[in-house]
Amino acid sequence: MNFFSEIESSIQVLFAAIDAGFVQDTSVGQQHVTNWYQTLSSSDNPAVRLVAQELDVLNGHIQANNVGGMGDSFQRLADLSSRAALPIHSFEGLGDKIRELSQKLNSAGGNLQIIARQRAAGTAPNR
């Protein structure tokens, strides 16, 4: 599995857990976040360290089952990823893959915000 497939898989696992209302084991999603945090936190790149810090924030929201906070965190991760990709232009398409990842994070964050608003309005089950 390549790096981007692994990231995408992590996002899908987190969103599936959130969408199921954490009826399933939340440690699966948290383990993905923890693994990425550990991988990225030792980077010398300031942009990557910012992503690691936001992953730590996301983990706190997951622990608290704070769907709105998770949505905010996903959208901040999208913004940080997008900024990191700005100067990257290569024949391998690395910048494009990071920008695609950013779009997926932003979409997941928006979906989580919708779920949070529905829960707050009492129009979605708080499973």
**Long-range Cβ pairs for the range 55-60 (8 Å, 24+):** 58/33, 59/30, 59/33, 59/34
Question: Which residues touch 11 (CB under 8 Å, ≥6 apart)?
Answer: 104, 105, 108
Domain presence at residue 67: yes
Q: What is the pTM of this model?
A: 0.76
Residue 127 domain-assigned? Answer: no
> Using one digit for the tens of pLDDT, what is the confidence trace for 48-89?
889 889 999 999 998 888 889 999 999 999 999 888 777 777
Asked whether residue 56 is assigned to any structural domain, the reply reads: yes
Residue 1 confidence (pLDDT):
43
Predicted confidence (pLDDT) at residue 103 exceeds the cutoff of 60: yes
Structural domain for 98, as ranges: 3-121
By CB neighbour count within 10 A (0-12 exposed, 13-18 middle, 19+ buried), where does 67 fall? Answer: buried
Tokens standing for residue 125: 């089950």
| Number of domains comprising the chain | 1
